[in-house]
Amino acid sequence: MRVLIVEDNRDICANIAAYLEKHPYILDFAYDGVSAMHLVLTNPFDVIVLDLMLPGMDGLSFCKKLRAEANIDKPVLMLTARDTLDDKLKGFAAGADDYLVKPFALQELHARLQALYRRSHGKTDNLLTVGELTLNRSTLQVHRAGRRVELNPTGMKLLQRLMEEAPAVVDRDALETLLWADELPDGDALRSHMYKLRQAIDRPFDSPLIHTVHRIGYRIAQDS
């Protein structure tokens, strides 16, 4: 899931980044409304987290432009210290899909992002399934043939993306962007992480689920 965080408080941004990097997100940040609008018009975000009080263009104005002028319907989670009913109604009227009052628990932010993503993609089930492999997107628990599979955060990000797209191929560029955005490491680090993921998902079992598509990427499927 690719998420744009529009928040001028850099300490809040750092806290959000530190927590959400443990989960399968690609995060981008903007610290004012004008920069945020440019990013939204040039990048395919899944959810936008939008602070109400911003320099340049406030959150309400941003949301109105996003809906009325840019015609973008991506879900917006509005952040604000204002918790009156009138403030919330104004946010919803401007086009916000959900509302989170500061200070908020990062666990709740994560849960609301997941809910908005599922709603916008028509998904109501937290459970991803490929053959005998399951991944619960709420608890981040993975099981294969009833056996618990332990993964590190990087492996979890890769597996969730592969299972969400299954049985389609996910190209290398998409997976590298998922893990490192624009700051790619030296060497073929993706191959190393995919090897570790295979060790966890496939090695203890009779048939492989993770398949390499030469020079393109990877897919996960129970091939006959």
Estimate the share of the chain in helix, then strand, then coil, as percent rounded to the nearest 5: 40, 20, 40
Collapsing DSSP to helix, strand or coil, 111 comes out as helix
Using the predicted structure, report yes or no on whether residue 123 has a pLDDT greater than 80: no
Using the predicted structure, report yes or no on whether residue 44 has a pLDDT greater than 90: no
How many other C-beta atoms lie within 10 A of the C-beta of residue 170? 21
pLDDT of residue 83: 73
Mean pLDDT of the chain: 89
Using the predicted structure, report yes or no on whether residue 82 has a pLDDT greater than 80: no
pLDDT of residue 80: 85
pLDDT of residue 217: 93
Q: What mean pLDDT is predicted for residues 85-97?
A: 86
Q: What mean pLDDT is predicted for residues 113-119?
A: 84
pLDDT of residue 181: 81
Tell me the C-alpha distance between 107 and 59, whole Å.
23
> Domain spans of the chain?
2-120, 127-220
Q: How far is CA 208 from CA 47, 67, 106, 132, 166, in A?
A: 33, 45, 36, 11, 14
Using the predicted structure, report yes or no on whether residue 124 has a pLDDT greater than 80: no
Of the pLDDT bands very low, low, confident and very high (cuts 50, 70, 90), residue 122 is low
Which is more confidently placed, 7 or 24? 7
Of 23-27, 50-54, 213-217, the least confident: 23-27
CA neighbor of 209 nearest in space, from 135, 131, 134:
131
CA neighbor of 23 nearest in space, from 123, 159, 144, 174:
159
Using the predicted structure, report yes or no on whether residue 189 has a pLDDT greater than 60: yes
Q: What pTM was computed for the model?
A: 0.59
What CATH class does 2-120 carry?
alpha beta
**Which architecture characterizes domain 127-220 according to CATH?**
Orthogonal Bundle (1.10)
Q: From the centroid of its chain, how far is CA 181?
A: 12
